[in-house]
Structures are given as structure tokens and as C-alpha cells.
Chain A
């Protein structure tokens, strides 16, 4: 090896640390992207693509013929104009919001009560929380089928009410009672989830604070509002947002219980999307209903984000 070569090697070596640093950074970036890639691919394939396809469908005249020809003429906002011109859309919007607001509010109150109950020690307090998870584990179609039978005119619920001297009726056949009946079933199906998550959150409430407050003379209500609720509030707010979005999309329960009837008294936006796509074969209008639901869900998500940011600032 000549001196020139060594010099050259040395010069080269003098630059080597810089290049090494760059290559290390590049390698780190590469590793970063390597680890991120599966998540990005998953996000694009299973989230962005279906979402984008839904947006595309809602702006085209997508019918059964499209399956064969592949042609779906672009119609701009025509699908949205068509669904907004239908009076049933506003009835579905009202029903969807009613089901969502009422069921989430009831689930919050009853879920918290159940969680507080299971926080105490009593015979069965260990296995009862596991047992009440069962309704949540059942598919919605099974839940709806069972409740359709329970709520029938000659069903067990009316047998019990009749024995108690309470007036009975065909709950799902009466336009005045069908929507409340759907809400009852929706609450029953989701309540275990609320009780379980809130039960776990209650375990994070510092026992010392509760004992200190009790020694200071704070009653149960005061301890609940001043210590328990503020501590579990982050969990409650996430549960509310998730449940709102989940309940807004309600289709399966309604489809099996009433199919939107009687006289459209239980029709929801999710059901109209299903009807347009799979009964009327107007996939474009079905997609437009889907986008409407997406828009409402995004509004809730924005409201939640704004509330969270404000709360963080206050803290």
C-alpha cells in the first residue's frame, strides 16, 4: 500500500465519521419507516381506501350494472341532493340522534351505577361483573332476535307486566313505543361494556382521598362529584365519544327488530344507507347516506378534541 493510497484512505477516513453519522441517521429513518410501514399499509388498505371508495361511490351513479361494466358516471352532488330532498332522511336523522343521545346518557348513568355497585364487596361481587359481560359478547343479530321474541305481544315481558296489572301491548308494532323499545335493547346490549370499563376506571380512584374526604365529613354524593367523577372523567369522555359514534351507525339491531317500521318510526340513517344499497341497489345514494353519517361522526370527534384541548389547558 503506497503513502498516497494511505493519504487517500486517510482523507477518505476523515470524511467517514460525517458520512457514518448521516448513514446512521438514514438507517434510523429507514428502520423507523420499516416499523411504520405495516401500520401505514394497514391504514391505507383497510381505512383510507374503503373511505375514499365510499366518497367516490357517493358522487357516482353506482348501480348493479357497475359491477359488470365497471362504469359509474360521475354525478357530483346529485346523490346528496336526492337524499336531502326525501322527508324520510330528516325522520331518520331525528331517530338516529334520539337513539344515540338517549341510549348513551342512560348507559352512562346505569353503567356508572353498576360499576359503583361492583366496586363494593358483597356475595357474588367477584363473578357478577364477568357474568354481566355476556350480553355484550352476543352478536347484535342474536340480541335483536331474542328481544323481538321477548317484546312480542304474547311474549314473556307482557306476561310479567300483565301479571303485575300493567297494561300490555305489542311494543314493536306500535309506532309510539317501537323507538323506545329499540333504545331499551340498545342500552341492554351496551351496558355491560360501560360497567366493565367504568369499573376498571374506578380502581384508579385514590382510596386515601376518599377516606380523607369521608373523615372530613363529605357525603357519598360529594365524594362522587368532587373526587370520583373528576378522576374517571378522561375515561368517561372517551367512552362517550366511542359510544356516540358506535350508536350513530346502528343498523343491525333495528333491521332485525323492526326493519325501520312500523310506519318508519324506527328508521335510522344507517338503515337508509343499507336500504338504498342492498334493497334499492342505488349504491351511490347508499354511499351518500354513509357520508352523511361520517360527517356527523366527525363533528362529534371535533367537539371531543376541542373539549380535550381546553381541559388540558385548564389543567
Chain B
């Protein structure tokens, strides 16, 4: 059954359709189209924007982008950054029919949870398109084939290495091609004071499955199949790294903070996200590698987390159209490049990705892996269960003495 807001929108939309359509072309970017500013349709409209990323310069940049766009569109905007449990705040706001007009949403949980309840607007009706985005990125903003969010930035993962550790071990800075190469490389970088590699292995904080998925995917695995050959090969990789002493068995107690082992030079290699690319506090020279694959000659594959801006489904069609226009303006190429360079995200637009790599060459493995990357949101709520299963299997195989196959079978109950 259509919600009241949806019904109201169908009635009200034609009345404001023309002005909204004109105004939507006010800003360049998003879909890649550029058009002269048109503010007539939204004069006097007041919107609220929610962001969840509460560090600087990201927070200040978003405020500036939205205020600049609002000024161009003749909109009054209140940009707020929500700290704490953002997902719960969104759900509570949706339950109270008080969603902000525009909200930054993660594509793994927040977008599908809100879209499935019919509280987000279909952005495609406002001539917002996904032109200029890789298919893998465009898919992040959709739920059941409807565009509910325009991706502005994504996160994927790569291997980071300490150049001094390679020099000290006399190892060339060459990316390992296969899992066996990685085990050998990590082994040769291991010393009495330094492990070859550090990875998270704890349950609960989401770090372990996020960094494990690139290995599973690069082994040709399907995340939905926890006992498949790819999953077994990836768990086996962890087991071999612990067995040859290059990964501390204590990794089962470490989550996101495992990166501290790398930055404090207690490990030579690690896996991390694009935020590391702009971290100026790392006290040594470093480089990045793409992920290895299970067998030589195959292509690595990573999982992709996106951040999109969605608009609340609104009975006031003019407000909803204004929110869509604001999102489109915010998603401009220039804004995406600035956010990437200053905030450490991979831009959603391919043109912005190229510019980002020019400015930050170490971002190349991240950008190269975006096309064809895997969106774990397609697993739906099943991913919540699978995450714990992969953590259980990794721990049972590495410190519990089980084989990778047996650990995965036991964890998944198969």
C-alpha cells in the first residue's frame, strides 16, 4: 500500500514539476551535467541536513558544500553532524516521521534499512542520474532497482607496507601476486621485534569481516557461501600466516585498533582503508599494494562500502525536490576531489577518482579495484549473521586448531 506521503507526492508533483526540474539542473556534478543556476523554484525552502562523519576537516567541508549549494539554490539549510549511534538516530527519526530532509547514509545498513521502509525518496524522478559512476558504485545507491541515494564517496581496501621494513629485510617492494607469495613475504619481514603482518581478528566491531572479504573475494569466493572454496582459501591464508609466525595469534583480540601495531612499527604489513592515505601522523614512509589472489593470473576483488546522500520522502513535493537539488549540487566533482584529498575517501565519480590518484598516487590500488567491486549490502540482513560466522571460523582455524574447512562448516552450521 502506498504511504500517505507517496500518495500526496503523486498529486502534488505535477504542480511543481516544471520549476523543480529547472532548479535541479542548478549545480554541476552528481550526474555529471552542468547547467546555469536556477533558484526560482526553491526560494524560502528550509532544509535540514544530517551528516554522521564527525571529524575535521570532513565535518567543516560538508557544512561549506551544503551552505554554498543552498545559497546557489535559494534554500536555507541547517547542516547538523550527528555523533554516537547514527543508525539508531535515523531509525528513531524515521519512526517519529522526523527524518532530516537530506541525510548521509552508509550503503551497507542505513540505506537498505530506510529504503525498505519506504521513507526515502526515489531520486531518479528528479533527473538525478548515476552517469559518470562505475556500475559497482552506482549500484550502492539503489535498493531493489530504485535509486534512493546518490553516492558521493566510497571506501575499499588495500595492503599498506612500511618501506623501511622492506629495506631492512632486503626485500624488494614488489606486490605479492598470490596468497603463497604473501605468506612468504610476511615471513621474510618478520623479526624478533616486528611481525610480518597485522590484521584484525576480533568479533563485534565489524573490522574482521570487512578486511577478510577482499581475501575471500580475491580467492574467487562468494561471501554468501561460507563453506565455498574461496572462503576456505582465505581462512587458510590467515591460518598459514599465524602458523609461520608472521601474524600474532593475539590478532583474535584486535579490531580496528590493529592498525596501531603497524603505525607503531610492530608489523610491516597491514590492510586498511583510504583514510590512511591522508594520515599525516604515520611516522615512516609507506606504500600500498593491491590484494593478492589465491592463484596467479587472477584479478583481485574487493568489497565496497559507499556513502550516499538520500532525501526523505516528503509530503511537501517542493521540499523533496529541493532536497534532491541540494544532493545533486553537493555531489559535484570538485567537492568529491576535495573530500577525498582532505578527508581520505575514494570519490564516487570516475573523473574525480582519476584526479585523486594524480594528487595521491598511493590511492591507485584503491581506485583500480573500484570497478567490479562487491557490494555486501546485496546480502541484506544475512550479512549480519555471516560476519559472525566468518569471525568464528577465522578464530577456530587460527588459534582453535581446526582446519579451515572444518572451522567454516562448524561456524556456519553446515
Residues of A participating in the B interface, judged by any CB pair closer than 8 Å:
63-65, 67-70, 87, 148, 152-153, 170, 172-175, 255, 257-264, 275, 279-281
Selected interface stretch from B31-39, B175-183, B281-289, B392-400: B392-400
Query: Closest CB-CB distance, A252 to chain B, in whole Å?
Result: 12
Contact of B388 among A173, A174, A280 (CB under 8 A): A280
The stretch of B19-27, B91-99, B315-323 that contacts the partner chain: B91-99
CB pair A173–B381 under 8 Å, yes or no, is: no
CB distance from B411 to the nearest CB of A (A): 9
Interface contact A175-B203, CB-CB below 8 Å:
no
B91: chain A residues at CB < 8 Å are 64, 67-68
Known: A68-B119, A262-B400, A280-B384. A174 touches B249 (CB 8 A): yes
Identity of the chain A residue whose Cβ is nearest the Cβ of B92 in the assembled complex: A67
Given A264-B392, A280-B388, are A170 and B249 neighbors across the interface (CB < 8 Å)? yes
Q: From known contacts A262-B399, A275-B388, infer whether A68 and B94 are also in contact, taking CB-CB under 8 Å.
A: yes
In the complex, chain A residues whose CB is within 8 Å of the CB of B88: 67
Q: Across the two chains, which residue of chain A brings its CB closest to B97?
A: A68
List which B184-236 residues lie within 8 A (CB) of chain A: 201-205
Q: Among B202, B250, B385, find the residue whose CB has the most chain A CB atoms closer than 10 A.
A: B250
Which of A70, A87, A262 interacts with B252 by CB under 8 Å? A262
* Chain A residues within 8 Å of B399, by CB: 173-175, 262-263
Cβ 8 A contact of A261, one of B385, B391, B402: B391
Shortest Cβ distance from B360 into chain A, in angstroms?
34
Q: How far is the CA of A255 from the CA of B250 in the complex (A)?
A: 16
Quick one: which of A65, A87, A148, A173 has the most chain B CB within 10 A? A173
Assess whether B117 is in contact with A173, with CB atoms less than 8 Å apart. Answer: no
| Interchain CB contact under 8 A, B384 and A258 | no
Q: Does B116 contact A (CB under 8 A)?
A: yes
Q: Is the CB of B248 within 8 A of A153?
A: yes
Nearest CB of chain A from residue B130's CB, rounded to whole Å: 26
Q: Which of B91, B253, B395 has the most CB of A within 10 A?
A: B253
Answer yes or no: B46 CB below 8 A from chain A CBs: no
> CB-CB < 8 A to B80: which residues of A?
none
Cα-based distance from A10 to B252 in the complex (angstroms): 90
B94, B402, B413: the one contacting A67 at CB < 8 Å is B94
Residue numbers in B under 8 Å from A281 (CB-CB): 381, 384
Decide if B253 touches A258 in the complex (CB within 8 Å).
yes
User: Given A67-B88, A170-B248, A261-B253, 15 other A-B contacts at CB below 8 A?
Assistant: A65-B116, A67-B91, A68-B94, A68-B95, A152-B253, A170-B250, A170-B253, A172-B253, A174-B249, A175-B399, A259-B255, A263-B396, A263-B402, A264-B395, A280-B384
B395 adjacent to A262 (CB under 8 Å): yes
Q: Are B95 and A275 in contact (CB under 8 A)?
A: no
Q: Are A261 and B113 in contact (CB under 8 A)?
A: no
A68, B202: Cβ atoms closer than 8 Å: no
CA distance A52 to B297 in the complex (A): 60
Do B248 and A279 touch (CB < 8 A)?
A: no
Contacts of B413 in A (CB 8 A): 87
| CB-defined contacts of A257 to chain B, threshold 8 Å | 253
A142 CB, nearest partner CB in chain B, Å: 16
Cα(A67)–Cα(B96), bound, Å: 9
Q: How many Å from the CB of A226 to the closest CB on chain B?
A: 48
In the complex, chain B residues whose CB is within 8 Å of the CB of A148: 253
Taking CB as reference atom, which chain A residue is nearest B397?
A: A263
CA distance A234 to B347 in the complex (A): 67
CB distance from A54 to the nearest CB of B (A): 18
Q: Which of B113, B395, B396 contacts A65 (CB 8 A)?
A: B113
Q: Let me know if A279 and B384 touch, CB within 8 A.
A: yes
Which B residues lie within 8 Å of A258 (CB)?
202, 253
**Given A173-B252, A263-B396, A279 contacting B204 (CB threshold 8 A):** yes
The docked-state distance in angstroms from the alpha carbon of A279 to that of B255 is 15
Chain B positions within 8 Å of A65 at CB level: 113, 116-117
Rounded to whole angstroms, the CA-CA distance of A87 and B399 in the bound complex is 20
Given A65-B116, A67-B95, A68-B119, CB of A260 within 8 Å of CB of B203: yes
Asked if B117 and A69 sit within 8 Å, CB to CB, the answer is: yes
Quick check: A280 and B385 within 8 Å, CB to CB? yes
Whether A261 touches B388, Cβ cut-off 8 Å, given contacts A64-B91, A69-B117, is no
With a 10 A CB-CB cut-off, give which of A70, A87, A261 has the most chain B CB atoms: A261
Q: How many whole Å from A315's CB to the nearest CB in chain B?
A: 49
What chain B residues lie within 8 Å of A174 (beta carbons)?
249, 399
The residues in B between 239 and 268 inclusive whose CB is less than 8 angstroms from any CB of A are 248-253, 255
Instruction: Report the 3 A-B pairs with minimum CB-CB distance, sorted nearest first.
Output: A263-B400, A67-B91, A259-B204
- Distance of A240 Cα from B396 Cα, bound (Å): 35
State which of A64, A173, A264 has its C-beta within 8 Å of the C-beta of B113: A64
CA distance A87 to B413 in the complex (A): 9
In the docked arrangement, what's the CA distance between A81 and B88, Å? Answer: 28
The answer to whether A261 and B117 have CB atoms under 8 Å apart is no
